[in-house]
Amino acid sequence: AIVAMTQRHYLKLNEFEPGLLFNGFKLAELYLRRAYEESGIEHVEIGGNYLYPAGASIVHPHIQVIASHGAHSLIKLYTRAGKAYHKKRLKNFWEDLINQEKELRERYIGRLGSTEWFTPFAPIHEDEVDGIVWGKSNFLEFDDDDWRSLAEGISRVLKAYHDKGFSCFNFAIYSGPLGKRLDYLWAGVKIVSRSSVQTYPVNDVWYSSGLLLDGFVVEPPEEVAKTMRPYFA
């Protein structure tokens, strides 16, 4: 499903206000709940590609709701690793990770409502910021505060991207299987900047990341976290 978030055909990144994103997420929730009720489908992700350098086929701000019979590769990885961690330590990996990042104060950004925000130790792409919805493993467990917290966090990250001169981004909100409470997996979001729209486009995907699955970034995650913290203050 495609959710058009506004009647405006173009937004600067500092114009993606929390209310706009929240309304889009609530429409996405309406669709995924109906899909679950009518077909029992379990695997749903919500994502966005803004402008053509980020993979968008249209300019108009929109998000995608993808329902499928199988989980995406990253979710499978998180599920396997989280289950193994929980079995070995009897603890949730995400809770331990957030607590550790808070102690280190290197990559932790801040808390917004029910969400925790940080930069990952090994980012997939430039300026990656991750968010975790505390204690929620799938979208059916979300309440309005969870969606509102995600919208607020994404909006703040996009404002930071705008101030750094970017115009494009990707984000993905992921979830465990709908209707199944998993103690070892928490839902969350990943958001990255992409090459800006310019007269002579520059492709920011090369063989290392595109074929060898090796993330490459110019700015260390610790520096990205420093940039983001004032926006979450």
Is residue 217's pLDDT more than 90?
A: no
Is residue 39's pLDDT more than 80?
A: yes
Helices of type H across 4-139 = 18-39, 73-89, 93-104
Give tens-digit pLDDT for 58-99: 788 899 999 998 999 999 999 999 999 999 999 999 999 999
Please give the pLDDT value at position 200: 60
Please give the pLDDT value at position 196: 72
Is residue 10's pLDDT more than 80?
A: yes
Give tens-digit pLDDT for 186-197: 999 999 998 776
Three-class SS state of 63: strand
Distance CA(215)–CA(165), nearest Å, equals: 22
Please give the pLDDT value at position 199: 58
Please give the pLDDT value at position 82: 98
Measure the N-to-C terminal CA separation of the chain; round to a whole number of Å.
Answer: 34
Please give the pLDDT value at position 21: 97
Please give the pLDDT value at position 194: 87
Task: List the domain range (segments joined by +) for residue 103.
Answer: 2-232
Tell me the range of 37-51, 128-142, 204-218 where mean pLDDT is highest: 128-142
Please give the pLDDT value at position 224: 97
Domain count, the chain: 1
Give tens-digit pLDDT for 125-157: 899 999 999 999 999 999 999 999 999 999 999
Domain with 127 in it: what CATH number? Answer: 3.30.428.10
Distance CA(41)–CA(210), nearest Å, equals: 30
Please give the pLDDT value at position 201: 66
Q: Which residue has the higher pLDDT, 107 or 54?
A: 107
Q: Is the pTM of this model over 0.85?
A: yes
Distance CA(96)–CA(101), nearest Å, equals: 9
Please give the pLDDT value at position 198: 65
Is residue 18's pLDDT more than 90?
A: yes
Distance CA(133)–CA(147), nearest Å, equals: 9
Give tens-digit pLDDT for 157-196: 999 999 999 989 999 999 999 999 999 999 999 999 987 7
Instruction: Tell the burial category of 85 from Cβ atoms under 10 Å away from its Cβ (0-12, 13-18, 19+).
Output: middle
Q: What percent of the chain has pLDDT over 70?
A: 94
